[in-house]
Amino acid sequence: MTAPLGPLLSRGWKPSAYQAAVALSGMSAALGLGREGLILHRLGASAANDTLQFALSVTYTIALLGEPLRLGALNLLQRRLGVSLWTVIATGIVLAAALMTLLYGAGGAGMPRSWLVAAGFAGAANLIFAWVLPRAQRSGPFLPVHFVTVMPNIFMVAALLLPARSDEAFAARVIGLFLLAPLLQLVGLALLRRFGDHPPLASAPTAAAGLRPIAWHTAGAAGGQAAQLLMRTALLAAPVGTLTAFSMTLRVTESLRAIFVDSYIASRVRGWAAGERATSPLIDGRRLTAGALGAVAGAGLLIAVFWTGSGRWISPTSAMLVIGAYLVLALRVRYQSLNTSAQPMGLVKRIAALEIAAAAGVGVLSMVPGAPLATLPWLVYVAKPAAGLQLVSSRIEGGPSLAPEA
């Protein structure tokens, strides 16, 4: 036991870039949970907190379009981006954020207009950050870039510890911080550009060629947005505190994603861009067979339908997030690795169809009298990623290899 330990102690332990990134993400996630605890301590599971969470849902739902922008940016990592493509992307971000803000405004009775506008701007800023981040991960200094992606919770917690004269002022500060965070991140990435590598890139695609994969990614994300809008509206109409509990649980699972999965993806972007598409089987879910995926989805459905407990925090709606957490994260890793510097259009179209089908299912179920509320998040967070993992596995096993974009 001492023989291997001696050389290690003499050399000193040097963490890998991924381990350091996990540590940074873990610190950010802990502060993020502290942020949620401060909000809950001040507002509780109240109607005021439900209103705040509904306002933050505007930012969250708009930011879902960040996934197609990120995937599109990954597709084009080996190409320059022309002015025409940038113009179309910027215009699309403004229009999408405005439309989603108006849709939420129509259903958010009692929400201050200033909250709605700030939440909409925050969503748009998050989309711009999602579009520029992959290139920073591809060529920038890895750990500083990663720090920029996880640093917002540091100043958020500090700001929420300051006294507020009223609950409304406290809630308004929360929304303002969600707007400030992506703006500071964009400034941070701009400052880091001068310290990164600048590898030679192929010529810029036309706007039409660059938008083709993004359009399909966006079609899928639009389905995800519709599912969120329908699901969160239904949860808002549920007993007081239901939406708050769901939103808090979702942020916990997304914190785990940020710690382990997003850090893993960030550490692999350079290799994926160079054509090295290997991923860890512990992270990407390859060990889950079709039977195992079906069993998890079936067990989740049984819980969603037959669990009639009235607990506010441990509820069937929140349980769906926990049951499907690993499936969501595994699909994220595998799908993004396939999209880096390549355009697997057949798979992209199938994933888009899956997102739209899930949204349609949420819409139908939300209108069925007596349908268990937990079946809505079951569709989104358990059934959908289970089916997506099966689609990705079929592509890997039966499809042609993906050639890096020239």
Residue 262's nearest CA partner among 368, 77, 108, 137 is: 137
Which residue is listed with tokens 């329908």?
230
Max mean pLDDT range (13-17, 123-127, 337-341): 123-127
Beta bridge partners of 79: 202
Cβ-contact 299, 382 below 8 angstroms: no
Residue 320: enclosing H or E segment and its boundaries? helix 316-323
Tell me: the pLDDT tens digits for 378-399? 999 999 999 999 998 876 655 5
When computed from its CA atoms, the radius of gyration of the chain, rounded to whole angstroms, is: 21
Tokens matching residue 256: 């785990």
Q: Looking at residues 197-211, what average pLDDT do you find?
A: 78
Strand ranges (DSSP E) for 263-353?
Answer: none
**Helix 316-323 × helix 290-306 angle, to 10°:** 170
Range in 67-71, 114-118, 140-144, 234-238 the model is least confident about: 234-238
Asked if residue 100 lies in contact with residue 108, where contact means CB atoms within 8 angstroms, the answer is no
**Confidence class for position 360, pLDDT limits 50, 70, 90:** very high
Beta bridge partners of 202: 79
pLDDT in tens, 140-191: 788 899 899 888 888 888 889 888 888 888 888 999 999 999 999 999 999 9
Task: At 130, list the tokens.
Answer: 């999602």
Report in angstroms the alpha-carbon separations of 90 from 67, 84, 132: 15, 10, 12
Instruction: For residue 125, give every residue at least 6 positions away whose Cβ sits within 8 Å of its Cβ, in sequence order, or none.
Output: 179, 182, 183, 186
Helix (H, G, I), strand (E, B) or coil at 404: coil
Tokens 């299912």 sit on residue: 361
Question: Residue 330's pLDDT band (boundaries 50, 70, 90)?
Answer: very high
Output the pTM of the full model: 0.75
Region 34-59: what's the mean pLDDT? 82
pLDDT-based confidence at residue 283 (cuts at 50, 70, 90)? confident
Residue 199 has pLDDT above 90, yes or no: no
- Would you say residue 25 has pLDDT above 60? yes
Contact (CB, 8 A) for 231 and 60? no
Please write the tens of the pLDDT for every residue from 207-225: 888 888 888 988 988 888 8
The band of 293, judged by pLDDT with boundaries at 50, 70 and 90, is very high
| Percent of the chain predicted with pLDDT > 90 | 25
In this prediction, residues 350-375 reach a mean pLDDT of 90
Cα separation, 48 vs 240, in Å, equals 10
Give ∠ CA 31-64-105 in degrees, rounded to 5. Answer: 95
